[in-house]
Amino acid sequence: MHKYILRRILLLIPVTIGVTFIVYSIMYFTPGDPAMIMLGENAPEAELIKLREEMGLNDPFIVQYGRFLKNAVQGDFGRSYSTKKPVFDEVFSRFPATLKLTVAGLAIALVIGIPVGIISATKQYSLMDSVSMILALLGVSMPNFWLGLMLILLFSVKLGLLPSGGDAGFSAMILPAITLGTGVAAIITRMTRSSMLEVIRQDYIRTARAKGVKEKKVINKHALKNALIPIVTVVGLQFGSLLGGAVLTENVFSWPGVGRLMVDAIKQKDTPMVLASVIFISVTFSIVNLVVDILYAYLDPRIKSQYS
Amino acid sequence: MDNNILDIKDLKVNYITDEGTVQAVNGLNISLKKGESLGLVGETGAGKTTTALSVLRLIPNPPGKIENGEIYFEGKNLLEASEEEMRHIRGNKISMIFQDPMTSLNPVMTVGEQIAEGIEIHQGLDKQKSMEKAKEMLELVGIPKERSVDFPHQFSGGMKQRVVIAIALSCNPLLLIADEPTTALDVTIQAQVLDLMNDLKEKFDTSMILITHDLGIVAETCDKVAVMYAGEIIEFATLEQLFTEPKHPYTKGLFGSIPNLEEDVDRLKPIRGLMPDPTNLPKGCTFHPRCPEAKETCKKREPVSIDTGNSHMVKCLLYEEVSQSEGAK
């Protein structure tokens, strides 16, 4: 198991290098002149040429990429073209906001999704099941930005109960967290239901009932642990992508998270900032995936025995 | 009647599906005395497992539904018992060994936990004592107790079935229902598992219903035999009566289909035809389309179960007519 974890961590290196190469290439080949961005459009031609020379922008692509990589390995990812601050400082300063929103959204999703999914599965075809499946369908189909706008319209504009944006305390987090949580809750509900439905038809559930185990325990102990693997997969994927910044939601609610930082950087062609945020997102995503894979081993002894 | 541990009367179980209502069990009667072993024999789809699950009230609902009947266990009608009462019976007084050991154990719990669970529920022991008892049960079925911390995937099929047997016997049940306990196992392991079950049954004086389609296993383990066809018991007799003098044409067909070692035959002698469609059972005697001795009346009239002497029960018009004409004389 430890060997497996170590191998997975080492695998992060080629993944990260690959990500940087692709993003660097895209940023390099799209139009836009970093020197002009830094100095402004009306800067004299002489200064532009001078700055391009200083930044090494006249070197061939591969040399520039190599230089970036060399600096990056030493921990220097460069400075933002627009704010002139070290890029990773900026990313890290934005991360807590994203993390907060992600955890809140996911918590809402889990608290709703898993119990509703379990009840739907154990009472298949009941009214409760039909209602929750229709709601889940709506939840999956509603675009985040639309739901966000509607919530703002209702709770901020009409009722004036909650702030419409910014990161200012608990009340400001409610609407974006609900916006994020709704879609994820719908996905988790559906996944829990289908996974539970499959498990409760298994022979070992009948064995548990034949032992005289209480129905509640049959579901919560015997069935749920078996049903959790696909649920954990979905939760992990959602967690990973939310951590990378829920771009649309963060923009709708002007939430100062990583997702918004990245979108702003792309608009400004702020290459170091884009690279830093993409690297950050991809590493976070990979780590979450690794944690999910490790969790599998704790949930299912059959998987654990494969690793050792 | 009083010393009967189990009495099933006129049991009717349907599965309601989109394609129609499957009449899995139609008016079935069985009685079993304490310490007795009953073999329940029949083709796949005859309703054997459904009968067994009805006794534990574990028919999946929906789609299954017990429409009618009474199941008396120790004089109490189980079909009227509360869910709470049933829980105290399941795994405690009546336990069941399932057909496929590969799928009947929970893959994410250790075998020790799975055996101890039933003991903890029914014998009021704490976790630690239950686990100790579970280890004893493992030893009893021939698995070293050190393996109680292992998971089902670390065991072979035969060993898994031993674990299932240990679970079933852990609370010394009065009635053990074994649903094709050896079908999924290879022949050498079959013999071991059967011996084990026989030993334990004698040790604890347990009554048993053994569901199988293997007449050889019945001959080895049972006192009485019930032959099932399309959800009905069509013949019920002691082991000796049935093997020396099978009466129902279907039972005769079953024996006829066993190849004789001493004769040189090229082809097996199967019973012609297939099991009837359970959503649309034939009128009259359900066996008449396949019966070599069928008469015109068999298509119209439903036979009732009659005693042909010494409690050898047969549900066939051939014998009904004989006894009727005898009665007329």
Task: Report the C-alpha gap between A170 and A208 in whole angstroms.
Answer: 44
- With contact defined as beta carbons under 8 Å apart, do B137 and B166 qualify? yes
Q: Which residue has the higher pLDDT, B272 or A102?
A: A102
The pLDDT > 70 percentage for chain A reads 99
Does some domain include residue B228?
no
Strand pairing class (B94-97; B175-179): parallel
Task: Please check whether residue A113 lies inside any domain of the structure.
Answer: yes
pLDDT tens string A20-61: 999 999 988 888 778 887 787 788 888 888 888 888 888 888
Q: Does B309 fall in a domain?
A: yes
Residue A90 lies in a domain: no
Q: Is the pLDDT of residue A186 over 90?
A: yes
Is A216 in the B-facing interface, judged by CB distances under 8 Å?
Answer: no
Contacts of B154 in chain A (CB under 8 A): 305
Residue A63 lies in a domain: no
Judge: B104–A301 Cβ closer than 8 Å, yes or no: no
Please give the residue range of the domain that contains residue B320: 281-329
- The one-character DSSP state at B271 is P
- Summarize the confidence of residues A204-232 as an average pLDDT: 90
- Residue of chain A nearest B153, judged by CA positions: A302
In this prediction, residue B1 carries a pLDDT of: 47
Express each pLDDT in B240-295 by its tens digit: 988 888 888 888 888 888 877 777 777 778 888 888 887 888 888 888 888 888 88
- pLDDT over threshold 70, residue B310: yes
Query: A300 contacts in B (CB within 8 Å)?
Result: 107-108
Whether residue A44 lies inside any domain: the answer is no
ipTM over 0.95: no
pLDDT at B260: 76
Considering only CB atoms, A225 lies closest to which of B103, B108, B117, namely B108
B322 has a pLDDT exceeding 70:
no
Residue A115 has pLDDT above 60, yes or no: yes
Q: Which of B87, B106, B169 to mutate to test the interface with A (most CBs of A within 10 A)?
A: B106
Q: Is residue A20 part of a domain?
A: no
Look at residue B328 and tell me if it is in a domain: yes
Residues of B whose CB is below 8 A from A299: 108
Is A109 within 8 Å of A188 (Cβ atoms)? Answer: yes
Minimum-distance CB partner of A214 among B87, B106, B109: B87
A chain contacts of residue B118, beta-carbon cutoff 8 Å: 211-213
Q: How many structural domains does chain A have?
A: 1
Domain CATH for A131: 1.10.3720.10
Residue B297, domain member (yes or no): yes
**pLDDT score at B328:** 46
Which domain does A132 fall in, by range? 99-307
Does A288 reside within a domain?
yes
Strand partners, B31: B7
* Tally of structural domains, chain B: 1
Count of residues in chain A: 308
**B158 touches B102 (CB < 8 A):** no
pLDDT, tens digit, 9 for 90 and up, residues B149-174: 999 999 988 889 889 988 988 888 88
Domain membership of residue A54 (yes or no) is no
Residue of B nearest to A201 (CA): B60
- A225-239, A258-272, B252-266: least confidently modelled range: B252-266
Residue B69 dihedral angles phi and psi, to the nearest 5°: 115, 175
Q: What is the pLDDT of residues B72-83, one digit of tens each?
A: 888 888 888 888
Q: Identify which of B63-72, B109-118, B211-220 has the greatest average pLDDT.
A: B109-118
Query: Which pLDDT score is estimated for A4?
Result: 82
How many CB pairs lie under 8 A apart between chains A and B? 76
Does B117 contact A211 at a Cβ distance shorter than 8 Å? yes
Q: Are B120 and A211 in contact (CB under 8 A)?
A: no
Is the full-model pTM beyond 0.95? no
